[in-house]
A and B are shown apart, each in its own frame.
Chain A
């Protein structure tokens, strides 16, 4: 297995005692897969992604990438954050190059590499623009180019399209499918958007909430990957199955609070 999560537990100490955020998470991901972890709020999905990123350490259990245990953040895992995390004083080109600069890549090589990935995300003509001049979708595409420029083993995405309007979101979905098919990169994305998960991924982990657990693993086999598939009955079946899973958990969560 390429990306493996073994018996991962995460607790937070609060004033009211120990809060179990993630409980016995096991996941195994092959190279080249597009995985979505879908969960309602409270399913600990962001926390899970932070463990894979190495921004946070699990209480027990471990995450391994390519056989190596994750002990901290690093450029072998490209990260696209939920909120735009472009550096506002750097233009698009400089943002895209920044990771390579930090890793000591000489100027000419990193310029070439960044230009290539700016072309991949279709933003070559905006290379000299500042982030504040870009739309939300363009900012996320720069963030993706920046993560890809280091040629990571896996691309981690934390609800990257949550803040986008529906049309931009759809075009970003198509872009992600094209990118995935072209580069064959492994992608691990978390989202609460069920349709997004079904449309994009080849496999879905449905997460239960409070504490976050893997409730079900679903292999997605869609006849095609274009927007017309969303009218297909297979698409609806996957979507409804997931919606039912998440709805059941939502009610549990409400009942637990009441």
Chain B
């Protein structure tokens, strides 16, 4: 610790310690760069096709008990059976209705609340601690209370979805509002706008893409919760279908339920992505 003013070593000597590196060209491992379109398409098809193929191969050539893993053909057959008796349609409609009502109510409440929380630090201070706490209480943990308060009809199921979506969506909408550049709000004031106009004509259009994205993500949560709620008490619904099928070891019907749930969820996701593209052309390049 005594040598403080030792002269620096010859800078040329550092060259000996530098390990030369090159970045080799690649197609598959491109980092944050586009890959060729044919490769993209091929990989997308593989993503769904390979698991399907494996499933078919295992059930055809393997020795797994069909009670544990039914073949794709068996599942298709079960699908046809459930479809022809209209049971599947009834279950799907019941689940969709619950998700639709619960999610719509939660969105209608959480979007204005989230925008207000993001815009006004006073409202944020008032609500963020409570919402932050509520967010970490898993919605399914409310089921016993909801049954106690609301019985076993539609109300507790819809309330469960509401609880599971409302707090998350409010906080996510709030975050998108916080990213509105302060300059844009000040520019609005300089152009003669007041706070209300800044809120409705600048902040709202600016956060619309973020709101659509938040809703897209939280719809997935709503879709999970409806299945959970139906596992407990329901007369119809896709969750109910799965739990009944489980009781009678109808694995093929469990598979039908799972696949229908997945396909509907994915369709919603694609719908929201489409909505984002057409409603907010200006933001599409950034996403």
Contact = CB atoms under 8 A, between A and B. Distances in A.
A111 to B, nearest CB: 16
Nearest to B188: A102
Interface in A65-86: 72-75, 77-79, 81, 83, 85
A87 B184 contact: yes
Nearest to B209: A89
Interface stretch (B71-79, B100-108, B260-268, B277-285): B277-285
Decide if the interface of chain A is mainly helix, strand, loop or mixed: loop
Given A99-B192, A103-B192, A85 B202 contact: no
Interface centre among B191, B280, B281 (most CB of A within 10 A): B191
Interface in B237-287: 280-283, 285
A120 B90 CA distance: 64
Interface residues of B, number: 21
Interface residues of A, number: 24
A150 B193 CA distance: 12
A102 B183 contact: no
B282 A132 contact: yes
A190 to B, nearest CB: 15
Contacts of A87: 184, 202, 205-206
A102 B198 CA distance: 10
B282 A89 contact: yes
A130 interface: yes
A83 B183 contact: yes
Interface in B174-204: 181, 183-184, 186-193, 197, 201-202
Interface in A52-109: 53, 55, 72-75, 77-79, 81, 83, 85, 87-89, 98-99, 102-103
A163 to B, nearest CB: 13
B131 to A, nearest CB: 28
B285 A132 contact: yes
Given A74-B192, A102-B192, A150-B192, A89 B186 contact: no
Contacts of B184: 85, 87
A81 B192 contact: no
A173 interface: no
A73 B282 contact: no
Contacts of A132: 282, 285
A88 B282 contact: yes
Interface string A124-166: 0000001010000000000000110010000000000000000
Interface centre among A53, A77, A83, A85 (most CB of B within 10 A): A85
Contacts of B205: 87, 89
A79 B188 CA distance: 10
A89 B280 contact: yes
Given A55-B186, A81-B183, A87-B184, A99 B191 contact: yes
A91 to B, nearest CB: 9
A242 to B, nearest CB: 28
B192 A75 contact: yes
Nearest to A105: B192
Interface centre among A55, A79, A89, A132 (most CB of B within 10 A): A89
A68 to B, nearest CB: 16
Contacts of B197: 102
A134 to B, nearest CB: 12
A73 B185 CA distance: 11
Interface of A: 53, 55, 72-75, 77-79, 81, 83, 85, 87-89, 98-99, 102-103, 130, 132, 146-147, 150
Interface of B: 181, 183-184, 186-193, 197, 201-202, 205-206, 280-283, 285
Shortest beta-carbon contacts, A-B, top 9: A99-B191, A75-B192, A73-B189, A79-B190, A85-B187, A102-B193, A103-B192, A89-B282, A102-B192
